[in-house]
Amino acid sequence: MARNHEQARAPSTGLAHPRWTLATCILASSLAFIDGSVVNVALPAIGKSLGGGAADLQWTVNAYMLPLSALLLIGGAAGDHFGRRRLLIVGIVLFTIASIGCALAPKLGVLLPARALQGIGAAILLPNSLAILGNAFTGSAKGRAVGTWAAAGAIASAVGPPLGGWLVGTIGWRPIFLINVPVAAAAIAIALLAVKESGEGEQPLDWPGASLATLGLFALTWALTSWTSARHMSGTSWAGLIGGIGALLLFVWVEHRRGNRAMMPLHFFGSAAFGGLTLLTFFLYAALGGLILLLPYVLIVGGGYSPLQAGTALLPFSILVGGGSRAMGRLAETIGPRWPLTLGPIVTGAGFALLVRVEPQASYWTSILPGMAVLALGMAGAVAPLTTAVLSAVDDKHTGTASGFNSAIARTGGLIATALAGAVMARSGAGLISAFHAAALIGAALAILSGLIAFLTLSAGADRREPASRG
């Protein structure tokens, strides 16, 4: 039956080969997933090679996260306007060129702009990858496809840290950016051969909204990074913070005035469920983004781990998320997203709380693995149901915008967490460990809050069957 659904959907979406489309989307999005996980393991080595303190290392991450967060919305809207396959390929090409630039960068002044270009490429390819996937399948087949996509992303994230750690320890940090090139080449080849165009609407792009979102997030991120690195708020930091908040408020006003022409249509928030999913995404991925950045850093700097050992320490997390996401995607199709998105984040919070056991001289098996395993089980219960719920909350012509918005919220949560992580990274010795413990408890609180939001905003019968029928 699922196969018939796929075939019936193909003429309306222009997708000739759904399975190859799934492969293309997995390869494309894996670029961002691999890069996001592999760089964290290399931060100490990059700092030693190119020079720079905690703030510079934060910007090595934020230079990528900032354009990714700010431009995901317009990246999805551009795909809906110009064609999703076309924009997917453009994003992959930009990402690949930037990756080569990162590998060749002789100083931070070159590395940071190349990282920013990577973020722009990722902001284009990620929402269009998910929008293409959402339109290639329908009914229960969509849940399985998104679950497979989420699982593959987790596996890609799992491969990144140990591979990056091995490369850093044996060759150096530069080759970690070159592992993107063969993946990108395969994604482009399959997209050209097996994926037909979709989208190509007539709605103009929202450049004022995109500009204000970028300006607001940049100012906010710069202010928070400056504050946590210097451990006090200077006059310029306050100016950046106030200016960033003002620009984001102005962004909301502009989006309200533009109505249906906005890149973030405010009518999406007419549904309590969509608003709840947005808050859940922000808090959950802020907690996760802080952990993925801080844990390898703490293990290398505070625990004496090699880059390979620190990368391998994250492996159980991604394997468990990858193994469970497909099954949870199918379960969410059957029972709806409310309970998976309630229990998953709460279990994730318990995993964060267990990470207060992390100590430099403690055994990995007793201090790190239990927390990572519980955290991974919780995330496995949330990743695929969250993605399918968001895709199903809007009609087909807005899937690119909706997926871009949700991805932007997730990346913005990670961006804010990275900016605040300097308060931990600026410490050393016992202070570094105690600061990490405090961050783990904050992550636990945010994850549990996410689960409570899902319980309160998603109705008991909120499954995907009703929204899917609107397509």
In the chain (471 residues long), the average pLDDT of successive 10-residue segments reads 40 56 88 78 87 77 81 79 89 95 93 94 87 74 73 71 85 90 92 78 74 83 77 83 93 87 76 84 91 87 86 82 74 81 95 92 89 92 81 66 74 81 82 92 96 85 41 32
What pLDDT, on the 0 to 100 scale, is given for residue 465?
A: 41
Which structure tokens are listed for 466? 């009703």
29-38 core/surface letters (b: 16 or more CB in 10 A; e: else): bbbbbbbbbb
What pLDDT, on the 0 to 100 scale, is given for residue 200?
A: 61
What pLDDT, on the 0 to 100 scale, is given for residue 468?
A: 35
Question: For residue 109, how many other CB atoms are within 10 A of its CB?
Answer: 9
Instruction: Write out pLDDT tens, residues 363-386.
Output: 889 999 999 999 999 998 888 788
**pTM across the whole model:** 0.74
Classify residue 205 by its DSSP letter: P
Closest CA to 355 of 342, 343, 341, 373: 373
Query: Is the dihedral angle over the CA atoms 437, 439, 445, 449 positive or is it negative?
Result: negative
Closest CA to 180 of 163, 203, 168, 165: 163
Rounded CA-CA distance 185/454 in Å is 39
Query: What are the percentages of helix, strand and coil residues in the chain, rounded to 5?
Result: 85, 0, 15
Which structure tokens are listed for 129? 């990858």
Rounded CA-CA distance 130/127 in Å is 5
What pLDDT, on the 0 to 100 scale, is given for residue 92?
A: 95
What pLDDT, on the 0 to 100 scale, is given for residue 400?
A: 61
Do the beta carbons of residue 25 and residue 128 sit within 8 Å? no
What pLDDT, on the 0 to 100 scale, is given for residue 96?
A: 95
What pLDDT, on the 0 to 100 scale, is given for residue 394?
A: 66
Closest CA to 152 of 390, 318, 377: 318
| Burial of residue 336 (number of CB atoms within 10 Å: 0-12, 13-18, 19+) | buried
Euclidean distance between the first and the last CA atom of the chain, given in angstroms as a whole number: 18
What pLDDT, on the 0 to 100 scale, is given for residue 450?
A: 95
Rounded CA-CA distance 440/444 in Å is 6
Do the beta carbons of residue 252 and residue 197 sit within 8 Å? no
Show Cβ contacts of residue 125 under 8 Å, excluding neighbours closer than 6 positions. Answer: 28, 29, 31, 32, 75, 87, 88, 91, 92, 95
